[in-house]
Amino acid sequence: MNPRIREWLLGPAYFHHRRLIEESKKWDAERIRNWQRKHLSPLLTRYSDAVRDKSEYRENPDRFTRWCLPGFTVIGRTGGTTALPLSFRMDRFARRQKERAYIFDIWSEAGYRPFDNLVVFRGKTGRGLITYNRRENTWILSPSKLTPQTGAAALRALNRIGPFFLNVFPSTLFILIDLLGADAFGSLPIRGVLAGSEMFPQSQMRSFSDRFGFPLIHWYGHSEYAALAKYCPECSGFHFYPTYGYTEFLPLDGDESRVRIVATSFNRIGTQFVRYDTGDLARPSSRTCTRPFERVDAIEGRIQEYFVDRNGVNRSMVTFLFAIHNRFWDILREIQFIQRMPGRLTVRTILKDPEEQAWLEKFLRERFEPVDLDFEYPETIARTATGKLRYFISADGVKSALDS
Ligand SMILES: [Zn+2]
């Protein structure tokens, strides 16, 4: 596709935010405060300044939604680590354009420019092993189709692309390395690894960089599009973009070393998250950095969790479960996966409507193709001491063959 047409398709909100990002990098703290106050105060007037968690948005979705005209919004969904899903409305056009302005700014640190060759190995499970999207110039490598048996074919295809950027979740990055073999992975023409949306412990980032030497980019974002932060190689912390949303760090009861990430989105259309408790935690900033924007030392909200498939390969729960973006979340009240032995998962579900059983089982069996599934439909699912529903429990001793 003609590069100029592609660029034009990035859309007006993309170019607006692109400018805003560049300008805001030169602002001082007061200028940032003034800009944020201007965008925040009408929202506080409309919704009050109370801090709200997911449950309020789940119970009163309409109260926080603006301009919900047919065709202008789409439904966004989040699974969340508490496994109670949340549906909300997102701007159909501008949100995606805005998102790309920020994500591309994050990626640019590795030299990425819009529409450079990009290979994605995350949640999208394409129809084939590798699917090419011409408009985006993106190759989707399917996590469910990549197995020890198809690894060689995947390597041949990846080598044919020429230099490319690799977009992964931190957990899927290690699965990819396992499946392709470390030496073969290291010899791929990778210009940079773009690993976000999931926790990536610093020691893991460092050992990856030491071993492979590829530029590594990491960031924090969440499905509700209210807060976005970029990992900073200079201070090893995260800097939050002030024009993406307004982020606050509020105390956590009983834990002085961590703070809650509370965020306000500045979008005009769709669900407006205002002083929204994301459920994610951070370590507050203990030092300064020469780079722009407010920082925290670390983000400690989400953990990497794996199950072991029938070939003994580690599979990321985030990829298989939280990357689902269809009606699956709507028919559920609660869900929990239990692994007692490799290659097999027990799915415990409470459905809103028991008639959805057949659809659910068929959908999950296709989705979780690398393992066998058993289904249980209990009346209740036990919680942890802190009241959280664990969406995934792995019995001790279930380990991948690749761990040893
Ligand atoms: Zn920094």
Percent of the chain with pLDDT over 70: 90
For the question of whether the overall pTM of this predicted structure is more than 0.85, the answer is no
The Cα–Cα gap between 401 and 331 comes to 35
Question: 299 C-alpha vs ligand 1 centroid, how far in Å?
Answer: 14
Q: Which pLDDT band holds residue 154 (cuts at 50, 70, 90)?
A: very high
Type of residue numbered 173: L
Q: 375 vs 394, which has greater pLDDT?
A: 375
Residue 40 in contact with residue 275, Cβ under 8 Å? no
The chain-wide mean pLDDT, for the chain, equals 87
CB distance 73 to 269 below 8 Å: yes
Give distance in angstroms: CA of 292 to centre of ligand 1: 8
Q: Measure 294 CA to ligand 1 centroid, in angstroms.
A: 9
pLDDT at 404 over 60: no
106 CA → ligand 1 middle, Å: 13
Cβ contacts of 173 within 8 Å, gap of 6 or more: 121, 166, 193, 195, 208
User: What is the tens place of the pLDDT at every residue in 77-111?
Assistant: 775 444 456 888 888 888 899 999 999 999 999 99
In the predicted structure, residue 303 carries a pLDDT above the cut 60: no
Question: How confident is the model at residue 84, as a pLDDT?
Answer: 59
Tell me, in angstroms, the distance from the centre of ligand 1 to residue 239's CA: 6
Q: Is residue 325 packed enough to be buried (19+ CB in 10 Å), middle (13-18) or exposed (0-12)? A: middle
Q: What is the pLDDT of residues 242-274, one digit of tens each?
A: 999 999 999 987 777 778 899 999 988 899 999
| Residues 37, 22: Cα–Cα separation, whole Å | 19
What per-residue confidence (pLDDT) applies to 29? 93
Distance 109 CA to ligand 1 centre (A): 13
Q: Give 27's pLDDT tier (boundaries 50, 70, 90).
A: very high
Span from the CA of 384 to the centroid of ligand 1 (angstroms)? 36
The Cβ of residue 214 has, within 10 Å, a number of other Cβ atoms equal to 18
What domains lie within the chain, and their CATH numbers?
A: 3-299 (3.40.50.12780), 306-403 (3.30.300)
- Residue 233: predicted pLDDT: 93
Amino acid 194: pLDDT: 98
Distance between CA 117 and CA 26 in Å, rounded? 30
For residues 146-153, average pLDDT? 91
